Amino acid sequence: EADIYQTPRYLVIGTGKKITLECSQTMGHDKMYWYQQDPGMELHLIHYSYGVNSTEKGDLSSESTVSRIRTEHFPLTLESARPSHTSQYLCASSEPGPPAGNTIYFGEGSWLTVV
Amino acid sequence: GNSVTQMEGPVTLSEEAFLTINCTYTATGYPSLFWYVQYPGEGLQLLLKATKADDKGSNKGFEATYRKETTSFHLEKGSVQVSDSAVYFCALASGGSYIPTFGRGTSLIVHP
């Protein structure tokens, strides 16, 4: 079982509110990722990190920001939520390489609804 | 760059039918290959993986073989169940600075 945790699992907030989605992993992985996904659809990479103090934007433009102050923690923040941000957000981390094989582990996801 | 192409869905089957979901890839170097499964309302779970050419990954009756010569990693199951209904994602990952690459997902619907 993967040791990667996301909170909250479900969140309904009003437009204009600031929110932070938390993600923590206890596997000591350097690489971590945030994906945005509509139900059952393709994954869109919005942020990733190679390690502490490293953050990069992904393929999909996002108004969110991330930080990586500790290896185990990779929170995602929306300063001002809008209805267009309604989606599922998936956090993931990956193993460093051979022999582990770079396996990617996912959290259970955070469902955000902005009303 | 790296890319993964998997067959579009939905794939609709009757219970006990044979399943194949095609996946092909392009990659730099020697990536590891994965199949993930996503049940409704949940995150992605690792289904199986293969880390080098000719390896076969298997789990819960599903199998996939890493074919370097055809750059493929097709998912198969001999007899599907209703509980296998989910979205399946093919993926590859390399070391170094490479970011994991996912296919678009294939929805599987199994009818009783």
Q: How confident is the model at residue B49 (pLDDT cuts 50, 70, 90)?
A: very high
Mean pLDDT, range B18-42, rounded to an integer: 92
Q: Summarize pLDDT for A16-40 with one digit per residue, the tens.
A: 999 999 999 999 999 999 999 998 8
A108/B46 Cβ within 8 A: no
Pairing between β-strand A87-94 and β-strand A31-37 as defined by DSSP bridges: antiparallel
Q: Summarize pLDDT for B55-93 with one digit per residue, the tens.
A: 999 999 999 999 999 999 999 999 999 999 999 999 998
Tell me the CA distances in angstroms from B73 to A57, B67, B98, one per residue in order: 29, 6, 19
Tell me the CA distances in angstroms from B93 to A87, B31, B100, one per residue in order: 25, 5, 4
Q: Is the pLDDT of residue A99 over 70?
A: no
Option in B46, B97, B105 nearest A42 (CB): B105
Q: Chain A partners of B104 at a C-beta cutoff of 8 Å?
A: 41-42
More confident residue, B93 or A90: A90
pLDDT score for A43: 93
Nearest CA in chain A to B100: A104
Mean pLDDT, range A86-90, rounded to an integer: 95
Q: How confident is the model at residue B100 (pLDDT cuts 50, 70, 90)?
A: confident
The phi, psi pair for A68, rounded to 5°, reads -145, 85
What is the DSSP code string of B7-45?
Answer: --S-EEEETT--EEE-EEEE-SS--EEEEEEE-TTS--E
Q: Is the pLDDT of residue B2 over 90?
A: no
Q: Is the pLDDT of residue A101 over 70?
A: no
Q: Is the pLDDT of residue A100 over 60?
A: no
Contact B92, B34 (CB under 8 A): yes
Cross-strand bridge partners of residue B25: B4
Cross-strand bridge partners of residue A63: none
Contact A9, A109 (CB under 8 A): yes
B95/A97 Cβ within 8 A: yes
Nearest CA in chain B to A40: B87
Neighbours of A82 (CB within 10 A): 12
Which of B99, B104, B108 has the highest number of chain A CBs within 10 A, making it the mutation to test binding with A? B99
Mean pLDDT, range A40-49, rounded to an integer: 93
CA angle B72, B74, B78 (to 5 degrees): 155
Q: Is the pLDDT of residue B45 over 80?
A: yes
B45/A43 Cβ within 8 A: no
B100/A94 Cβ within 8 A: yes
pLDDT score for A39: 84
SS3 per-residue string spanning B62-94: EEEECECCCCECCEEECCCCHHHCEEEEEEEEC
B38/A97 Cβ within 8 A: no
Q: Where are the alpha helices (DSSP H) in A23-110?
A: none
